[in-house]
């Protein structure tokens, strides 16, 4: 793709471009990274992740990449434009080209988490519209909740062989674009500080995955099969992980959820979590 007006060309990413892309992402103001469990190199090395580069006079001026599509949906994972370049035209050209591949892959919807303010300058002209908010809640109570595990619901640490079933639970519990791929789940489990599953009648019916950061823990994922929701599975998983960290002297915990997910917020509020005002908008685009 090429335009004579701006002399910008759009290409696919190649491995030899890795250092140039990394430099663009790290040195410029207009830079967005939403990689979850991966670092930049891991993401760029994933051949299934669609990536486009924008060049002007043989100089990299833009990058745009999405997640590997899952259930006809993907996320914008990387976006950057060189400082003093034309922000909106460059991103729009990248998106127009990338969208053709996404359509061919059967993607119907793309999501963009607005971690910074600047993408909102472009998102509307690229066809994205505001959809929801990610809200953050925090708990700092030094009194751990009681043990509520029972014969009906037991908790144990996750095992490598559990991951495919956990991915099935995750994709049943959430709707697109909030689901995790098995690959993402494997990486998340590798970097987690605590990952447990809930067992009922011999089957995995839910799981939680938590990480540690500089001054507390973060409940990164809590998923329960839809048919088991409301039966105490989420409460049992949450109670156990709070007690796990409390035994290690870690009392502060944060969690993110959608503003529209009122059921999960009720659970967290019941366990002493409170909104901390750190909310991020999510925009969606039809492909």
* Beta carbons of 108 and 287 less than 8 angstroms apart: yes
What is the average per-residue pLDDT within 225-237?
96
Taken in order of first residue, the domains within the chain and their CATH numbers are: 2-126 (3.40.630.30), 136-280 (3.40.630.30)
Of 105, 104, 111, 107, residue with least CA distance to 32: 111
User: How many angstroms separate the CA atoms of 26 and 23, rounded?
Assistant: 5
Above 50 in pLDDT, residue 15?
yes
Structure-token match 């809590």, residue found: 222
Of 259, 223, 227, 219, residue with least CA distance to 135: 259
Taking only the tens place, the pLDDT of each residue in 118-130 is 999 999 999 999 9
* Beta carbons of 253 and 139 less than 8 angstroms apart: yes
pTM: 0.91
Of 6, 12, 1, residue with least CA distance to 90: 6
pLDDT of residue 6: 64
Count other C-beta atoms under 10 Å from residue 104's C-beta. Answer: 9
User: How many angstroms separate the CA atoms of 145 and 153, rounded?
Assistant: 17
pLDDT of residue 215: 83
């Amino acid at each position: 793709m090429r335009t004579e007006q701006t002399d910008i060309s759009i290409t696919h990413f190649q491995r030899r471009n890795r250092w140039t892309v990394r430099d663009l992402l790290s040195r410029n103001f207009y830079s967005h990274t939403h990689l979850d469990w991966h670092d930049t190199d891991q993401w760029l090395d994933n051949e299934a992740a669609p990536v486009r580069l924008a060049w002007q006079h043989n100089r990299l001026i833009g990058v745009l990449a999405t997640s590997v599509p899952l259930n006809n949906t993907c996320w914008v994972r990387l976006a950057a434009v060189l400082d003093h370049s034309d922000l909106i035209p460059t991103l729009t050209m990248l998106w127009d080209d990338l969208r053709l591949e996404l359509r061919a892959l059967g993607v119907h919807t793309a999501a963009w988490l607005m971690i910074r303010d600047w993408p909102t300058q472009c998102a509307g002209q690229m066809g994205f519209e505001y959809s929801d908010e990610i809200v953050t809640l925090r708990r700092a109570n030094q009194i751990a909740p009681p043990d509520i595990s029972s014969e009906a619901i037991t908790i144990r640490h996750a095992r490598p062989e559990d991951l495919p079933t956990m991915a099935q639970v995750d994709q049943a519990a959430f709707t697109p674009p909030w689901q995790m791929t098995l690959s993402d789940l494997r990486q998340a489990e590798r970097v987690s500080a605590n990952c447990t599953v809930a067992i009922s009648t011999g089957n995995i019916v839910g799981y939680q995955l938590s990480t540690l950061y500089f001054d507390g823990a973060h409940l990164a994922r809590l998923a329960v099969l839809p048919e088991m929701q409301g039966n105490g599975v989420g409460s049992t998983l949450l109670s156990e992980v709070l007690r796990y960290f409390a035994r290690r002297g870690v009392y502060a915990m944060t969690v993110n959820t959608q503003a529209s997910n009122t059921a999960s917020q009720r659970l967290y509020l019941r366990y002493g979590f409170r909104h901390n005002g750190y909310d991020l908008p999510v925009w969606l685009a039809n492909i």
